[in-house]
Structure 1
Amino acid sequence: MHYAQQQQYLKVQVETASPGELTLLLYQEMVKSLLLAKKLYSQNQFEAMNEPLHKVRAILNELTVTLNMDYDISRNLRSLYEFYYGHITEFIIKKDHAMLDAVIEFAREMAKTWAQALQSLKSTGNQTHE
C-alpha cells in the first residue's frame, strides 16, 4: 500500500511540475539511483547493480535530448552528460568505484545547483509580483 501511495505522489508531482522542476527531479532520481547502485556494488550484487545504472544512463540521455543547443551552456552540459555517461559505462565494465563516486558527486552538485537556481527564480518571481 505504501509503495502505491508513493507512486501516486510521484505521478502527481511529475504531472504538475514545471520544466525546471522536472529537471531537478531527474537530477534527484540520478542521485538516488547512483546511491542504490553503489550499495548493490558494495554487496557484490553486480547484476542487480546494472538496473539503476541503466536508469541513470537513460536520465542522462533524456537530459541531453532536451538541451537547446543555441546556447553555449547547453553544449557544455552535453559534454558533461556524455563524459559521465562514459564513466558509468566504464564502471559497469571495470568495477572501479572511483568512477561511480565521480558520477555521484556530479549528480549531487547538479541537483544542488539546480535547486538553488529554482529557489532564486522563485524569490525573484515573488518580488516582482508583490
Structure 2
Amino acid sequence: MKPMNYQQQYLKTKVETASPGELTLLLYEELFRKLNMAKKLNQQKLQGEMLQKLHGAREIMYELITTLNMDYEISQQLHALYDYYLRRITDFIVTKDEEVLEEVIQFAKEYAETWKQALHIVKTGNA
C-alpha cells in the first residue's frame, strides 16, 4: 500500500471534518480547479488529460445533484442549473469551443465565491 503524501492527508482530514456547507464549498472549488486545468490542457493540445479533468468535473456536478433535497423549490432550480452545465461540458467536449467551457468556469467560480460568502455570514452572523 502506497503511503499518502502530506497534501493528500490534509485534504482527507479537511473533508472528513467539514460541515455539509463546507463540503459543498470544497466541491465548487474543486469543480473550478478541474475546469481551469481542462482549459489549460486543451490549449496545450493534451486531449487525454483534458478529458480526465472534464470527467472529474462532471463527477462533481453529479455529486452536487445527488446532494439536493428535492423537497425545496431551490433544489429543483439548482438541479436544472447543474443539468444545464453538465450539457455545456458535453458541448465543449464535442465542439472544443472555449467560450462554452469559459461559461462553465464562470459558473463554478461565481458559485464558489457566493458559497464562501454565505458560509462566512452563517459563521459570523454578519451580512
TM tier, shorter chain?
Answer: over 0.9
Query: Which residue matches 1:107?
Result: 108
Residues 25-84 of structure 1, C-alpha deviation per residue, up to 9 Å, x if partnerless?
Answer: 000000110110000000011121000100010000000011011111101110110000
- Partner residue in 1 for 2:95: 94
**Normalised TM-score (structure 1):** 0.92
Q: Distance in 2 between the 1:59 and 1:48 partners?
A: 17
Distance 1:118 1:109 in 2: 14
1:42 counterpart residue number: 43
**What is the alpha-carbon root mean square deviation over aligned residues?**
1.2
Which residue number in structure 2 is paired with residue 71 of structure 1? 72
Counterpart-to-counterpart distance in 1, 2:5 and 2:29 = 20
Counterpart of 2:8 in structure 1 is 7
Report how many residues are paired: 123
Q: After TM superposition, what 4+ stretches of structure 1 lie above 2 angstroms from structure 2?
A: none
What's the counterpart of residue 59 of structure 2? 58
Q: Secondary structure at the match of 1:111?
A: helix
TM-score relative to the length of structure 2: 0.94
Shift of 1:123: 0.9
Give the distance between the partners of 1:7 and 1:45, measured in 2 at CA: 25
Partner secondary structure for residue 5 of structure 2: helix
Offset at residue 6 of structure 1 (A): 0.5
Q: Name structure 2 gaps, 5 residues minimum.
A: none
% identity of equivalent residues: 54
Runs of 5+ unmatched residues, structure 1: none
